[in-house]
Amino acid sequence: MQQQRVLSGMRPTGALHLGHYHGVLKNWLKLQHEYECFFFVADWHALTTHYEDPHGISDHAMEMVIDWLAAGVNPGSAKLFIQSRVPEHAELHLLLSMITPLGWLERVPSYKDQQEKLKERDLATYGFLGYPLLQSADILIYRAGLVPVGDDQVAHVELTREVARRFNHLYGREPGFEEKAEAAIKKIGKKNAKLYKDLRKKYQEKGDHEALEVARALLEGQQNITLGDRERLYGYLEGGGRIILQEPQALLTPTSKMPGLDGQKMSKSYDNGIFLREDPESVQKKIRTMQTDPARVRRTDPGDPAKCPVWQLHEVYSDEGVQTWVKEGCTTAGIGCLECKQPVIDSVLSELAPIRERAQEFVEDPNLVRGIIAEGCEAARDVARETLDEVRQVMGLAYR
Ligand code: TRP
Ligand code: SF4
């Protein structure tokens, strides 16, 4: 498991808010300690819907990366890069487009949904139809095992799995596959070879999935075989051809419960957000002027936390003691709304303080950020090129 690669991308929307932090970013912070992570700015994806107003994409990308860093994403553990700076994604997208039936793309739920939702834009474009396949290329080029996404993106990971399967089916059956696999077995040592064969038999003859897992782990531990042999052995294990593109798994990011200032989900398009690098006065003002239970007109009117968006923030930020204080104080008119909001203000400010502080260094030195991105791009390209070389080869494009 430790050796699985994690890949995720975010469209460059500019400054991130608390909803992003409590949803996606905290999850990334956890993952970066557990796996090899690649996180990227999906700038081409932004163009699939916003091709008419591309201004600001690169600035938004920079702002977003600063927010990642400020939130604690560590470029020492995770590679941070920009999609369009790794043009290998585009070549893999093109090559995958050759084998992807149109119907698969037309069936992706977001295709029709987004066209409905973004009616003011003309999304009857080639790029928009192909965008989930571009996402597949993003994922497959890193042979990522895990892809953290929200539930709106699960269908894209599913498409990716189908494309990988089709690709392996078409191109994983090299001539002499069995002989090559048998030869590869000899390279992992006598003891391991016997173990591998036993496990393979158990899986293929008895459907023993535990044996499959053990055998995979055994292969993962092999340091001295080539990438090609490793893939042959993975494929041979399961009875198919060589596994060239690995099927990824969606890692569903729990939907953030972060409410916005109006009680709806926090979202840039609702204009109800608190931004990660927002200054404390502004944060304080936003919360102080937040809508409360409309029934509490006067200080002496009792209220109902269930009808108040401030309560939803208490649910995120306050411990039981404070929550009890709110419930009692509100329903008996024992506390005023400003008083009630103060612990939330304090919690949000103390959550944001270290983030703003970390951001400072990057804001003052954009070259530092550029350097981190450049390094991430290089590391990403190294992996991407390796996959692409192989893809070219099996698709008949190996010129020397
Ligand atoms: N499509 C995703 C979104 O709109 C962003 C994205 C692009 C992505 N490529 C990806 C996410 C690969 C995960 C993996 O949010
Ligand atoms: Fe909302 Fe608190 Fe005012 Fe009650 S006291 S209405 S929970 S802000």
Domain boundary assignment for the chain: 2-172+366-394, 177-237, 276-363
Q: What is the Å distance from ligand 1's center to 137 Cα? A: 11
Q: What does the longest C-alpha to C-alpha distance in the chain come to?
A: 85
Q: Which CATH class is domain 2-172+366-394?
A: alpha beta
- Residue of 252, 347, 314 whose CA lies nearest to 23: 252
Asked whether the predicted pLDDT for residue 96 surpasses 60, the reply is yes
Kind of pairing between the strands at 36-41 and 78-82: parallel
Sequence-distant (6+) residues with CB within 8 A of 62 are 366, 369
Q: What average pLDDT does the segment 236-246 reach?
A: 87
pTM higher than 0.75, yes or no?
yes
Q: Is 340 in the pocket of ligand 2 (CB under 6 A)?
A: yes
Paired with 147 in beta bridges are: 250
Q: Is 311 in the pocket of ligand 2 (CB under 6 A)?
A: yes
Q: Is 330 in the pocket of ligand 2 (CB under 6 A)?
A: yes
pLDDT band at residue 400 under the 50/70/90 scheme? confident
pLDDT band at residue 231 under the 50/70/90 scheme? confident
pLDDT above 70 as % of the chain: 99
Q: Which of helix, strand or coil describes residue 325?
A: helix
Tracing tokens 């953290």 back to the chain, one arrives at 148
CATH number attached to the domain at 276-363? 1.10.240.10
Q: Give the model confidence (pLDDT) of 18-51 as tens digits.
A: 999 999 999 999 999 999 999 999 999 999 999 9
Q: What is the Å distance from ligand 2's center to 311 Cα? A: 7
Q: Would 2-172+366-394 and 276-363 be classified into the same CATH topology?
A: no
